[in-house]
Homo-oligomer: A and B are copies of this chain.
Amino acid sequence: MITRDECAALDAVDPLAPLREEFILDDATIYLDGNSLGPLTRSARERVATVVDHEWAEGLVSSWNAAGWMATPTRLGDRLAPLIGAHVGEVLVADTLTIGLAKLIGGALALRRDRHVILTDIANFHSDIYIVRAVAHFADRDIVVKTIARDELDAHLDDDVALVMLTHVDFRTGEMLDLAEVTSRVHAVGALMLWDFAHSAGAVPLDVTGANVDFAAGCTYKYLNGGPGSPGFIYVRAAFQGVLENPLPGWLGHARPFDFELEYTPASGMQAFVTSSPSIVALAALDGALDVWKHVTTDDVRAKSLVLSDLFIDLVEARLAGVFGLATPREHVRRGSQVSLRHAHAYGVVQALIEHGVVGDFRDPDIARFGFTPLYLRYVDVYDAVERLVEVVESGAHLSPRFAVRQSVT
């Protein structure tokens, strides 16, 4: 079995190791929850300070033009585009992930008025299911949202399906779907394909162009480190721009916002999907956080992520044989950037581990979830995390009555 010294030796030659310096992290904590909230980068902190102390305080209202605030949602979309394999002009950062999904679902329904079915995964993150049902309900026509098991997709795909909405990496298990293969199956029946990249963007290489994806949405506060509640992004393939309508239009999405026209005429490109401006201060944090991608590719990140998560799985199985079930697929092509362990007392395991300085999170009913974020995570962190997990399990700390009643966790 690998030793801690061998892990330290891997860190010493890791080309990504210097990136940890970009992040503000406390060495006493091993943070395996960057898949829930990414940590602060120095660049994000600086960019927020610049926007607050200079652009806002000194430039005041003139900064909408002089500091480029107006263009921030599309400019950040363009910065983000390479991380998902999109072209410049296909991505926008605005609103929240759920509002972004509402725009895309609403727009897609209008494009397939002759069809009556939306398919989505019953294992989807719940907000996705709530919003797709709500939009379909509000559309007030004969639309059925079918929440299905994703491995039964083929049985439901027919020429009455308007839209398929799936999450690329399962938030509970970390299972990753084949972007191109699934998209192709959906297109084969003439349906539109909408992907949720909440647990993919910044975590795994994505090629929306090669996979012919129609629409996608994601969040920026997990692997993209944009900060708590950082605005979401949406992707609309160039072919659908000028075709897909924004069902929640606003003046900043107008072709001529300062002409104050009574009739709405959408701007060209992704600007049409801006409703009102998201917070410029919030976008500043994301803007800074994206700087780290100047030094690294998603392929680099992916390679290290797989080594880290393999290491975690191997160490857990070696040191704690039979204690946990592995909810995450072992096969690389089917795994995102997290490892989920099943345990009857998973909540207690996560809470006790936090008290031992290792932050993961719990997902109902029995999942202890650990995110592997290669931009700042070291091999020794993985080693030490498993050592502390062993301490927790062997001491029975996870069985403490203090953990009998679950508190809200994110």
Interface residues of A (CB under 8 A from B): 24, 26, 29, 31, 33, 36-37, 39-40, 44-45, 48-49, 52-53, 56-58, 60-65, 69-70, 95-99, 102, 106, 122, 125-127, 129-131, 133-134, 138-141, 147, 227-232, 247-252, 254, 257-262, 264, 275-283, 285, 354, 359, 361, 363-364, 406-410
Given contacts A60-B31, A95-B95, A408-B258, contact A280 B364 (CB under 8 A): no
Whether B278 contacts A96 by the Cβ 8 Å rule is yes
Could you say how many copies of this chain the assembly holds? 2
Whether A276 contacts B409 by the Cβ 8 Å rule is no
Most buried by B among A40, A64, A282: A282
The minimal Cβ–Cβ distance linking A271 to chain B, given in whole angstroms, is 13
Chain B residues within 8 Å of A65, by CB:
407-410
> Which of B48, B131, B260 contacts A281, CB < 8 Å?
B48
Chain B residues within 8 Å of A39, by CB:
56-57, 60
Q: Closest chain B residue to A53 by CB distance?
A: B45
Chain B residues within 8 Å of A232, by CB:
276
Whether B276 contacts A229 by the Cβ 8 Å rule is yes
> Which of B61, B131, B363 contacts A248, CB < 8 Å?
B131
Whether B48 contacts A60 by the Cβ 8 Å rule is no
The minimal Cβ–Cβ distance linking A3 to chain B, given in whole angstroms, is 29
Chain B residues within 8 Å of A276, by CB:
96-99, 127, 229, 232
Chain B residues within 8 Å of A122, by CB:
262
Q: Closest chain B residue to A41 by CB distance?
A: B57
CA distance A395 to B408 in the complex (A): 65
Task: List 17 additional contacts besides A227-B281, A281-B281; criterion CB under 8 Å.
Answer: A37-B60, A52-B285, A61-B410, A64-B228, A96-B275, A96-B276, A96-B277, A98-B250, A99-B276, A127-B252, A131-B275, A139-B139, A227-B280, A229-B280, A230-B279, A258-B364, A259-B364
Whether B410 contacts A261 by the Cβ 8 Å rule is no
The minimal Cβ–Cβ distance linking A69 to chain B, given in whole angstroms, is 6
The minimal Cβ–Cβ distance linking A45 to chain B, given in whole angstroms, is 6
Chain B residues within 8 Å of A247, by CB:
134, 138
CA distance A102 to B229 in the complex (A): 20
Whether B61 contacts A130 by the Cβ 8 Å rule is no
